[in-house]
Amino acid sequence: MQIEIDTQHARLDAFLASRLKDHSRSRLQELVKEGHILVNDSRAKPKQTLNPGDLISITIPEPVELELIAQDLPLDILHEDEDLIVLNKAHGMVVHPANGNPDGTLVNALLFHCDGQLAGINGVERPGIVHRLDKDTSGCIVVAKTDRAMKSLLTQFAERETTTKIYFAVTARPPLKEEDSIFTNIGRHPVNRQQMAVVDPGSGKAAITDYEVLNRHGDGTCLVKCTLHTGRTHQIRVHLKHVGAPILCDPIYGKSSKSLPDTDRLMLHARQLGFTHPATGEEVLFEAPFPSEFQPWLPNPSLS
């Protein structure tokens, strides 16, 4: 496909998003970076300014089929319809196959449950996966079953205007304040490349987390409610450590102590997930029950 520009346009990625509405903006940016979209027969950049007379050449590659197997694994389904499925992901379940986890993942289970009917407009990778949860985090996750849902949800999660993500964590120590908004940049740790860290402005990406202490234990542990306004890798884990309150039993950002309550899992749970339904336009909110490990910290039965 070729498109000739007849008026001034600010940015290539914005123009493509207005013309190729079946693809998310992030996917279009990937196609530009991979050289599938050219300007005047030359590789371009997503933020490149377009001028009258420029010729855009677009080649959309065929989706790459993954060598994934469908597996009959237990799923805790909170909601399902023709467009999407919302699940309460179990602690310990990996979301998608990768090195070291070729099967037994949420994607393998969904391929069996949905009989292979998952969105695949991003070509490679992770059929239907709109966002992710760490292996050791439990709770709400939404998966797209149609391309329409995939595109809508990807846009919503990227823009953060109509989505709600609320997590609950048990921290090994109380944070510096009872409630606060943490606004930092998060990027790769300068020494340990397996970790993320708060980094200086100008590097990494902006990350915003609101938190509120809901319940304190005599041993110093706390139940903390966290509301995400961005979605950086390990964001809550990094931010709570940053304010002096690492999550209990966090193998990467915390420290073990014999004085802490006996639990063998990362104490982080994605409690609520909200978004605009791609088909109905209705604002929906889903809630995953607390795992049994959280019961000692719940201040009242209504939170269970």
C-alpha–C-alpha distance, residues 166 and 285, integer Å: 11
C-alpha–C-alpha distance, residues 68 and 227, integer Å: 34
C-alpha–C-alpha distance, residues 171 and 169, integer Å: 6
Contact 138, 89 (CB under 8 A): yes
* CA atoms 232, 225, 157, 84: torsion sign: positive
Residue 212: helix, strand or coil by DSSP? strand
C-alpha–C-alpha distance, residues 28 and 37, integer Å: 9
State yes or no: is 134 an active-site residue.
Answer: yes
Residues 6+ apart with CB under 8 A from 144: 83, 84, 118, 119, 128, 130, 150, 153, 278
C-alpha–C-alpha distance, residues 90 and 74, integer Å: 9
> Which residue is catalytic, options 13, 54, 83, 134?
134
- The two beta strands, 268-276 and 138-144, are parallel
Residue 66 in tokens: 């993954």
- Give the residue numbers annotated as catalytic, written as ranges: 134
